[in-house]
């Protein structure tokens, strides 16, 4: 580690997504301008962040436990309003919500995608967070996204969450990925493995993908052929 | 006019859409660097552009006549491969194409929108070019867009183009406007007047709008609520 | 040439500096929306632009003749307020201005650079327009910039403009090029050939370059080493 | 504080310079993807940053102490390679460097400006960090920048750092501020108060400002009048 504390901390911030050396340095000087209390507070929040979240065994998302827990070992014993943990099963508020349609499973690549969909209040099924996307010609896809966990989620849901009595078998999987090259490449890969397990396990469910069309703000003049085609198919 | 010819020409280019004083000046210096032949050629093309296009009486679009016509008066007498003009009716290649579904009418705001849709090869009906969009609270909409011509097109098509024997009554109007505030505002206005003429004229046709959804390149994380809602409705 | 007049004209506009296919198309539709008079006017201005400017024999810049001349052959006979042409010598208003210091020669790459300097009213000498810049490793520099004309200007000025009685021998050459790689590369090349002619012709004049430093709007934090060095040397 | 730990931490990151809600959220998910060790390390570095830096009594800059000190009270007793602290005087490595010209004082608005100048290796005098800039019509300038500390630095330097035997009286003050409106406004204000203390205290020193000119990368065509004027004055 850099012996110079300012440089050393700046190097940490440089690892943050989208942060270059200059902004990293500015973060450090910003902190130096704050009071000890504010700095200690931030330091504590960072220290506890991993303990104050849990990973849902069903959808694999990271979610906040209402009460930050300072003791790492007590992980699976607390019980909070936002999630129920028993028999060492951790479920997020969405996965344990009996009012949601547990037969529909939407695949998203990351938590922030899930949040965007929740914000729209347009979806009432469950989710599965893949944890990434696949670049074209990705050598080891199963290391980039949770493909094995996905299969397990679809096949063994009831074993994963035996307590979740209202968990229906998956009848539809919605591929909810960005309309980008990586997103489409990921969708192609997922479709392939989903079809495989349908055969192997004699399962049957629909595989759907989000509709394409003009997204808010886009101008017809600049729309590409595929967007226009879909916009026409989806006219209403 | 500016007595300085360089300044005077720059001022003309400044009127071009999206061109500022500096680029206008650069255009002039660019021309000064070209040969006399190239300059004369450009000058001639500009002089003839209005004569080398006609406006379709049905869809109102400007379209190229294959052979530039140098005599303005001879306007409605030539007959070209790309359009047929007789009995002083001017029709573009799309409006006179008997293989297109003349019962479906897509409304676009400008020629370049129409070209984008044609490029997608996803549409086989006819068009009508509104010639603009409506800002919110637009005082005189009928001066900004061809609303009267649109009504006439829908009601009197057969009178406008008596020779066009295959012209069916409009069964569907597709509002094909940009997913922008102006586009949506224009769509609202058009819907209103279309419903009026349906009542007045005891006409019946469907009014549809292009489907919304993720357009190519857009990321789920940044998609707004309406886009996500539509993308979900249009999933397939 | 494209048989479709709209496409054909768009292709001409595409050659304009910084114009892509879409904007070129928009230019055409813009023209189609103008009246015949305005279009004819523009067409005429373009047709005459080359005749309404002359190239100064001394500084090589293109400059406007106050009265556009429609007859190309009468080129060197007119006499206008802004320039005097006699004995077939064409001089621009700057080069013939007896109040400017004709011993100082500023080299710029193009007319718009010259205009920026004139606008600053900070320079009272003469100019020479190189007509371009040199990319690194440029094979044939003398084809990209007026290096031969420059030498001729410095050595034979009095022969070029015998009538210009107040033309002093060059005592200083100011290299006024952009602070870019191409600009610096061009400056290096010019310095080399200027030193050569000083030797060959036993001439003596100073070669200077514009001062570096913080340009208006630039922030110290982001200034590169060379800019800061110069800013310090030039502190006052 | 937001009861949701993820939201709460995101809100902290939102306070960082130039960070919006989305990127703040991404920072949190980034941390959640790291190991406990890395997170604890970052938390510790942040906790200690204020203790691992000191503020130089002479130039007012924040600088790293080579060994982070965990005990806040022991602040003025440690002695490190990068700075000497005794008789409760804290000096940074630059201010205590006997090889630098202590008679020249450069005023910069913030640490990162100072670093940019140091990086250029073109300056051998001392610095004073104003700690900010002044917006036009700033009501309470002395609260935005260290104007009082600056006066004290110039007048009482030897009292501030009695141990610094090689501290010469200030013979030149270099205003090293950005070439922006705020920077120039700050420079004007500083000049005024510096002239005041020269009168009051019967002191005499030069006040200089960084030279203007073409900064690396800027094109002559787009240079403003003041930049061109300076570039001409500073030609060499």
Q: What is the ipTM of this complex?
A: 0.78
Give, in order, the Cα–Cα distances in Å from D104 to each of B62, D107, D127, D128, D172. Answer: 72, 10, 8, 10, 5
Cβ neighbours of B140 (radius 10 Å): 7
pLDDT at B66: 62
User: Chain B 160-219, CB below 8 Å of chain C: which residues?
Assistant: none
Position D82 pLDDT exceeds 50? no
Minimum-distance CB partner of D214 among C123, C208, C212: C212
Taking the C-alpha atoms of residue C213 and residue C220, their distance in angstroms, rounded to an integer, is 10
Asked if A228 reaches chain B (Cβ–Cβ under 8 Å), the answer is yes
Cα distance between residue D103 and residue D168, in whole Å: 5
Bridge-based pairing state of the strands D125-129 and D172-175: unpaired
Nearest residue on chain D to B26, alpha-carbon basis: D221
**pLDDT at site C66:** 62
Render pLDDT for C128-137 as a digit per residue (tens, 0 to 9): 999 999 999 8
pLDDT > 90? residue C92: yes
Distance from CA of A222 to the nearest CA of C (A): 9
Q: Which of residues 15-44 of C touch A (CB under 8 A)?
A: 22
D80 or C48, higher pLDDT: C48
Q: Residue C93 in contact with residue C63, Cβ under 8 Å?
A: yes
State what percent of residues in chain B have pLDDT above 70. 91
Nearest to C47 among B39, B62, B68 (CB): B39
SS3 at position B221: helix
Give the tens place of pLDDT for each residue, C182-228.
999 999 999 999 999 999 999 999 999 999 998 888 888 888 898 99
For residue C94, pLDDT over 80 is answered with yes
Q: Ramachandran region of residue B141, left (φ > 0), alpha (ψ -120 to 50) or beta?
A: alpha
Q: List strand residue ranges (DSSP E) for chain D, in order.
A: 53-55, 62-64, 85-86, 89-90, 101-108, 125-129, 172-175, 206-209
Quote the pLDDT of residue C69.
39
Nearest Cα residue in chain B from C69: B5
Partners of D89 in beta bridges: D86
How much is the average pLDDT of D90-107? 94
Q: Which residues of D touch A49 (CB under 8 A)?
A: 5-6, 9, 28, 31-32, 39
Is the CB of residue A216 less than 8 Å from the CB of residue B227? yes
- Give pTM, 2 decimals: 0.71
Alpha-carbon gap: D163 to the closest alpha carbon of chain A (Å): 25
Looking at chain A from residue 82 to 111, which residues have their Cβ under 8 Å from any Cβ of chain C? none
Total count of residues recorded for chain B: 236
pLDDT band at D219 (very low <50, low <70, confident <90, very high): confident
Nearest chain D residue to A11, by CA: D42
- Mean predicted lDDT score pLDDT of chain C: 87
Tens of pLDDT, residue by residue over B155-205, are 988 888 887 777 899 999 999 999 999 999 999 999 999 999 999 999 999
pLDDT tens, residue order, chain A (236 aa): 888 899 999 999 999 999 999 899 989 999 998 889 999 999 999 999 988 899 999 999 999 886 434 344 444 444 444 444 444 788 999 999 999 999 999 999 999 899 999 999 999 999 999 999 999 988 999 899 999 999 999 998 888 888 777 789 999 999 999 999 999 999 999 999 999 999 999 999 999 999 999 888 888 888 889 899 999 988 88
pLDDT at residue C68 above 70?
A: no
Inter-chain CB proximity D229 and C113 less than 8 Å: no
What CA–CA distance (Å, rounded) separates B45 from C137?
A: 39
Whole-angstrom distance, CA of residue B187 vs CA of residue B108: 10
d(C-alpha D159, C-alpha A48), whole Å: 46
Which residues does chain A have within 8 Å of residue D12's beta carbon, measured at their own beta carbons?
A: 41-42, 45
Q: Residues near A109 by Cβ (< 8 Å), separated by ≥ 6?
A: A129, A130, A131, A132, A133, A145, A177, A178, A183, A186, B220
Q: Using CB atoms, which residue from B26, B32, B47 is nearest to C39?
A: B47
Identify the pLDDT of residue B56.
Answer: 94
**Size of chain C, expressed as the number of residues it contains:** 236
What percent of chain C clears pLDDT 70, i.e. is strictly above it? 91
Instruction: Judge contact between B122 and B191, C-beta under 8 A.
Output: no
- The pLDDT of residue C163 is 77
State how far residue D114 is from chain A, nearest Cα, in angstroms: 13
CB neighbour list of residue C15: distance below 8 Å, 6 or more residues apart: B30
pLDDT, residue D66, reads 62
Give the burial class of D18: count Cβ atoms within 10 A of its Cβ; 0-12 exposed, 13-18 middle, 19 or more buried: exposed
CA distance D74 to chain C (A): 34
What residues in A contact C22, CB-CB < 8 Å?
A: 221-222
What residue in C sits closest to D111 (Cα-Cα)? C221
Mean pLDDT for C161-184 is 90
Q: State how far the alpha carbon of A55 is from the alpha carbons of A62, A91, C69, D220, in Å.
A: 4, 8, 81, 58
Q: How large is the average pLDDT for residues D145-170?
A: 88
Positions of chain B with pLDDT lower than 70, given as ranges: 66-87
Contact residues on chain D for B22, CB-CB shorter than 8 A: 221
Cα first-last separation, chain B: 60
> Cβ distance A92 to A63 under 8 Å?
yes
Contact of B173 with B208, CB cutoff 8 Å: yes
Res A66: pLDDT: 62
DSSP string, D45-68: HHHHHTTTEEE-TTT--EEE-SS-
A227 and B CB contact within 8 Å: yes
Of the partner residues A109, A123, A215, the one whose CB lies closest to the CB of residue B214: A215
């Amino acid at each position: 580690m850099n012996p110079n504390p300012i440089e050393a901390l700046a190097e940490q911030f440089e690892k943050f997504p989208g942060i270059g050396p200059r902004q990293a340095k500015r973060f450090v000087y910003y902190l130096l301008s704050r009071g000890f209390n504010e700095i200690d507070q931030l330091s504590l929040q960072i220290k506890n962040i991993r303990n104050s979240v849990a990973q849902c065994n069903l959808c694999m998302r990271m979610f906040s436990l209402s009460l930050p827990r300072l003791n790492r070992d007590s992980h699976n014993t607390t019980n909070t309003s936002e999630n129920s943990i028993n028999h060492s099963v951790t479920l997020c508020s969405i996965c344990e919500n009996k009012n949601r349609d547990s037969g529909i499973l939407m695949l998203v690549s990351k938590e922030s995608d899930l949040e965007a969909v929740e914000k729209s209040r347009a979806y009432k099924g469950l989710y599965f967070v893949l944890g990434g996307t696949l670049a074209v010609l990705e050598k080891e896809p199963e290391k980039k996204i949770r493909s094995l966990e996905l299969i397990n989620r679809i096949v063994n849901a009831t074993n994963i969450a035996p307590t979740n009595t209202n968990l229906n078998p998956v009848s539809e999987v919605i591929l909810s990925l960005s309309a980008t090259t990586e997103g489409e490449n990921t969708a192609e890969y997922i479709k392939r493995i989903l079809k495989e397990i349908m055969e192997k396990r004699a399962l049957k469910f629909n595989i759907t993908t989000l509709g394409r069309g003009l997204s808010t703000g886009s101008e017809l003049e600049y729309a590409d052929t595929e967007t226009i085609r879909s916009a026409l198919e989806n006219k209403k």
